[in-house]
Amino acid sequence: MNDCAQPAGCVSSRGEFQISTDRSRLDLACIQTFLSESYWSPGIPIEVVRTAIANSICFGVYRCAEQVGFARVITDRATFAYLADVFILPAWRGQGLGTWLIDAIMQHENLQGLRRFMLATRDAHELYRRFGFDLPAQPGRLMEILRARPYGGA
């Protein structure tokens, strides 16, 4: 099999790009490096990333064998899901890969019929609105515990 062949776990393909839910294909170092430099999880340790991946439905975006994007969904697969850690590496942005990734997630068989699907974003509201996400209808019902620097740092 060459690097661009469609392996097991492929949920969508487009030219030389693939989206896969096969955890064995995930480039843990790539994911941890990006997340540790992101605004939402600065300094996240590799072990925390490993645990998060183990307990989520994960979606890797690949150009042949190279990982270029990622997202994960934390869910009970029946009533609730939370979309997290969505990214496309900077060198691959502007090609519609992020939109394609969210579309693949929203079509995934284990994420249908949910009562609530949530996410948090600082700057991608318009992307997510295309898929039906909106501000909470009743924000007064939502609560959170937010630990701004759970992995250390200033």
**CATH no. for residue 41?**
3.40.630.30
Helices (H), the chain: 28-36, 46-54, 97-107, 125-129
CB 64 within 8 A of CB 101: no
Per-residue pLDDT of the chain (154 residues; tens, 9 = 90+): 445 666 668 889 999 999 999 999 999 999 999 999 999 999 999 999 999 999 999 999 999 999 999 999 999 999 999 999 999 999 999 999 999 999 999 999 999 999 999 999 999 999 999 999 999 999 999 999 998 888 976 5
Domain that holds residue 137: 10-141
**Whether the predicted model's global pTM rises above the 0.85 cut:** yes
SS3 call for 140 = helix
- Who contacts 24 (Cβ-Cβ below 8 Å, separation ≥6)? none
Q: Look at residue 133 and tell me if it is in a domain.
A: yes
Q: Domain total for the chain?
A: 1
Q: Look at residue 150 and tell me if it is in a domain.
A: no
